[in-house]
Amino acid sequence: MSDETKLTRTKRAWTAQGRFLTGAGEARPEDQRLPPGQHLVTDWPVLDLGTHPALPLKSFRLDVNGFAEAPLSLDWEAIQALPQARARSDIHCVTSWSRYDNDWRGVRVRDLLERARPMQIASHVLLHGADGYTTNLPLDDFASEGAMLATHWNGEPLSRAHGGPLRAVIPHLYFWKSAKWLTRIELIGTDRAGFWERNGYHMYGDPWREQRYG
């Protein structure tokens, strides 16, 4: 996928301008729920690279490989056979909107990684979407409490527009880290920039520290 598009040029311009930055970033205050520079919405905006890949369940497959002692290649039936969990979390998008109280259903990342058994050398993951999108995460963050591979949102199967049938949900980071249309989890030994990280976004993405841009 080419990084040189109108969208990426716009986002690189935001980086240069420091758009949405307030300068108030710090470790999360215990009495605060909305990160600096964010505003609340009640809908769920659709943001992507302009492609909504169709992933029929009968042919869907999720691969977990790289530095894994037990690489996995799971069809939809195998994913559904994993322990199913529910979680509620907020969404914080780097474009400045936040949405509270999203109810997810799916597989906890920790349960999946327990089966794949990351090697000691594995320090990060690179998530791959069916649209060619990638994003990077430290392994500890990917396996954090509340991190899920979601199949449902607010009681309904994830829509195609929002990354269905399977997307990552990493609630403590900006939502570009929660890759849509997830088809591969690559365990890697050194950090590697994903799509937006190559185009000016921060390598980590803590909304409380306003890590929008690198």
Kindly report, residue by residue over 56-75, the tens digit of the pLDDT. Answer: 999 999 999 999 999 999 99
CA nearest to 205, candidates 120, 92, 119: 92
Residue 4 has pLDDT above 80, yes or no: no
Residue 116 has pLDDT above 90, yes or no: yes
Give ∠ CA 175-36-29 in degrees, rounded to 5: 100
Kindly report, residue by residue over 73-112, the tens digit of the pLDDT. Answer: 999 999 999 999 999 999 999 999 999 999 999 999 999 9
pTM for this prediction:
0.94
Domain boundaries, the chain: 6-44+53-209
Kindly report, residue by residue over 126-183, the tens digit of the pLDDT. Answer: 999 999 999 999 999 999 999 999 999 999 999 999 999 999 999 999 999 999 999 9
pLDDT reported for residue 114: 98
CA dist 102 and 40 (Å) reads 13
Q: Does domain 6-44+53-209 have CATH number 3.40.50.10860?
A: no
